[in-house]
Amino acid sequence: MSAARVGVVTFPGTLDDQDAARAVRHAGGEAVPLWHADPDLKGVDAVFLPGGFSYGDYLRCGAISRFAPLMEELIPAARAGLPVLGTCNGFQILCEAHLLPGALMRNAGLHYICRDQGIRVENTATPWTSDFTEGQEIVLPIKHGEGRYVADEATLAALEANGQVVFRYAGGNPNGSLNDIAGIRNEAGNVVGLMPHPEHAVEDLTGAPSTDGRGFFTSILKKLVNT
């Protein structure tokens, strides 16, 4: 049986692609590099949009990336059910591409923050979170200057009502996100975006003092192997 193939997208200015690919390989998957100008998705089974400052975050975080050639393939594929995970800048791109509702604004404290953050898993009905238990508290690093999640009241109410809030900050809200939201999913559940970085919390030796990020990668690989 061949390993499940997870595409890792690199835009100009993407930074965490190497880490994301390593995390996929650690969990037993095959990481397939996808370049922003590629015309197709190389037949991958899932896509990881890593963090960074794609296109320098010029104009607005993620605002230019959503128009990259690869996104023309990715957006319809995601709407058709392809599992997609966006972390940090990847989350911002998913919002700009309207695959997820709402937006990420400048942190309430106005500073970039890098710290190990408590996160509560609120929803496990996604291909990226099935290995967690609901209410489980995990530790993942955050590192962003624009991670304050906002959405209008109706959208927020719908997210809460539909169980689309997947992660909430625990032990202090670092950036002023509404409802302490750290990550959300689309209605179908295949597209998940979050500000924290699971790919920096998969090894004992390096990164955050936690390996809680492994759950994302084991979740998706189990899902891909079983379907």
Partner 1 sequence: MSPSPALDTVKRAADTPDERQPYAELGMKRDEYDRVRDILGRRPTSSELAIYSVMWSEHCSYKSSKVHLRQFGTKAPKSDALLVGMGENAGVVDIGDGWAATFKIESHNHPSYVEPHQGAATGVGGIVRDIMSMGARPIAVMDSLRFGGADQPDTRRVLPGVVEGISHYGNCLGLPNIGGEVVFDPCYIGNPLVNALCVGLLRKDQIKLATAPGPGNKVVLFGALTGPDGIGGASVLASATFEDESQAKRPSVQVGDPFMEKLLIECCLELYQADVVVGIQDLGAAGVSCATTELAAKGTGGMDVRLDLVPLRDPSLRPEEILMSESQERMMAVVSPDDIDAFMAICAKWDIPATVIGEVTDTGRLVMTWHGETIVDIPPGTAADEGPVYERPFTEPAGQAALNADSPAELPRPEDLRAALLQLLGSPNLASKEWVTSQYDRYVRGNTVLAQPADAGLLRVSEAMPGAEETTRGIALATDGNGRYARLDPYAGAQLALSEAYRNVAVTGATPLAVTNCLNFGSPEDPEVMWQFAEAVRGLADACKALGVPVTGGNVSFYNQTGSAAIHPTPVVGVLGVIDDVAKRVPSGFTGEGDRVVLLGETREEFGGSEWAHVAHGHLGGLPPAADLEAERALALVLTEAASRGLLTGSHDLSDGGLAIALAEACLARGIGCAVSLPGDDAFADLFSESAARALVTVRPESFDALAELCAAHEVPCYGLGGTGGASLAVEGVLEIPVDELREVHTGALPAIFG
Site for partner 1 in 36-55 (CB under 8 A): 52-53, 55
Pair 193, 183: CB distance under 8 Å: yes
Q: Is residue 15 within the footprint of partner 1 (CB under 8 A)?
A: yes
The pair of three-digit structure tokens given for residue 63, joined into one six-digit string: 């605002």
Q: Answer yes or no whether residue 58 interacts with partner 1 by CB under 8 A.
A: yes
- Kind and range of the H or E element at 77? helix 69-79
| Total length of the chain | 227
**Active-site choice (36, 88, 95, 122):** 88
- Choices 119-127, 129-137, 181-189, 194-202; region in contact with partner 1 by CB under 8 A: 194-202
26 annotated active-site: no
- Which positions from 70 through 129 interact with partner 1, judged by CB under 8 A? 111-115
**74, 17 in Cβ contact below 8 A?**
no
Residue 227 tokens, joined: 């379907």
Q: Measured between alpha carbons, how far is 47 from 44 in angstroms, rounded to an integer?
A: 7
Active site (annotated) includes residue 146: no
Which residues make up the interface to partner 1 (CB under 8 A)? 12-13, 15-16, 18-19, 22-23, 52-53, 55-58, 111-115, 141, 143, 145, 197, 199-200, 203, 205-208
